[in-house]
Amino acid sequence: SEHHTLLYGTSPLNRQKLDSKKLLGPITQKMYALLPCGGLGVDSDTVWNEMHSSSAVRMAVGCVVELSFKVAAGELKNGFAVVRPPGHHAEESTAMGFCFFNSVAISAKLLRQKLNVEKILIVDWDIHHGNGTQQAFYSDPNVLYISLHRYDDGNFFPGSGAPDEVGTGPGVGFNVNIAWTGGVDPPNGDVEYLTAFRTVVMPIANEFSPDVVLVSAGFDAVEGHPSPLGGYSATAKCFGYLTKQLMKLAAGRVVLALEGGHDLTAICDASESCVSALLGNELDPLPQEILQQKPNGNAVASLEKVIEIQSKHWSSVKRYASTVGYSLLEAQKHETEEAETVTALASLSVDTAQNNSEPEARQGDEPMEEEPAM
């Protein structure tokens, strides 16, 4: 909103150039929280520095917008915006969860408005639900939002992102929440995230067929984040594999924007893995133990719930309902056998068609001499 933009996008210096009547109301009415450190924040987590925060949030948005435009226009193949602060919690008129402006949502809206990009996929793998992004596109059928997040029946921040939140009006079906439940016993890791991509994310994404892919790339699901901030055990390398899968969409036009993550080592390692994938480097093969491991029961139940709900909107996920609990090796074997069966049936159909056409071909031949009646 205009008030939100003027409040968080200006500093005392550049406010002097603006209409004081527009500024007076929203700024004087805004209540800041006093933080334990003695500073100010919009809430107990989200620090606000009156002199420097506004330029930081404008820079973050500008970087993601510029990168998105260059990739959408074909000037760049893909890219990664290493920016702070993050944005996916920021709503139209609310700053929260370290976020002031929703950089990915703003970029998506501008791609639609300025470059006439028809269909945009936003994948959000931050462990926290992107409530701001969901709000921005909840009724928009041109932007498909898919979020993978810890939900725990609404007991994990920010509490939104239930699997039955599917959109409204023309946007019904274009909001997909893979809402993990069951806490951290056991914690979700590589197997669960790769299974989610196999059974839900990639089937729906391929069916949607986006022109550009934007990724809210938060890394607080990477091991090293304690439960209040994360609690999961995904490896940094896992996100390289996820990035590589997304690069099969939209002719490779993929933009990652850094979102959450509070452990510097985890952020650095996961970012490196994603950039390596974007550069087209060969990734290390998945460890055999990951290929053989089945997803945990809580994750299977979560994914089955999502498939049950989203199969009403996306036919592509129906065929995966029976294989959610498979290991990656079992799934590969099943898909190979399924493909071989389809090929065999197709071959049989061709043979049958050829056999049925032979009598018709004979009708044009010279008639055979009739045998004399006995």
Segment 340-359, tens digit of pLDDT = 777 777 777 666 666 666 55
| Digit-coded pLDDT (tens) for 222-232 | 999 998 889 99
Structure tokens at 82: 């290493």
Q: Is the whole-model pTM more than 0.95?
A: no
- Report whether pLDDT(311) > 60: yes
User: Catalytic residue numbers?
Assistant: 89
The tens digit of pLDDT for each residue in 325-343 reads: 999 999 999 989 877 777 7
Judge whether residue 26 has pLDDT over 50: no
pLDDT for the residue 337: 84
Query: Measuring CA to CA, which residue among 8, 12, 3 is closest to residue 47?
Result: 8
Interacting residues of 115 by C-beta distance below 8 A, sequence separation 6+: 69, 72, 73
pLDDT band at 153 (very low <50, low <70, confident <90, very high): very high
On whether the CB atoms of residues 95 and 4 are closer than 8 A, the answer is: yes
pLDDT tens profile 126-145: 999 999 999 999 999 999 99
Specify the range with the lowest mean pLDDT, choosing from 51-55, 196-200, 228-232, 351-355.
351-355
Q: Name the most confidently modeled range: 20-24, 287-291, 342-346.
A: 287-291
pLDDT at position 27:
46
Cβ atoms < 10 Å from Cβ of 324: 23
Rounded Cα distance, 353 and 361, in Å: 13
b/e 197-231 (16+ beta carbons within 10 angstroms → b) = bbbbbbbbbeebebbbbbbbbbbbbbbbbeeeebb
Q: Helix 53-72 vs helix 103-114: angle between axes, to the nearest 10 degrees?
A: 40
DSSP lists the bridge partners of residue 41 as 33, 47
Instruction: Give the integer Cα–Cα distance in Å for 149 and 177.
Output: 8
> Tokens 């919690």 map to which residue?
89
pLDDT band at 9 (very low <50, low <70, confident <90, very high): confident
In the predicted model, what is the mean pLDDT of residues 1-26? Answer: 65
Please give the Cα distance from 329 to 294 (Å, whole number). 9
- Are the C-beta atoms of 184 and 152 separated by less than 8 Å? no
Q: What are phi and psi of 64, to 5 degrees?
A: -65, -40
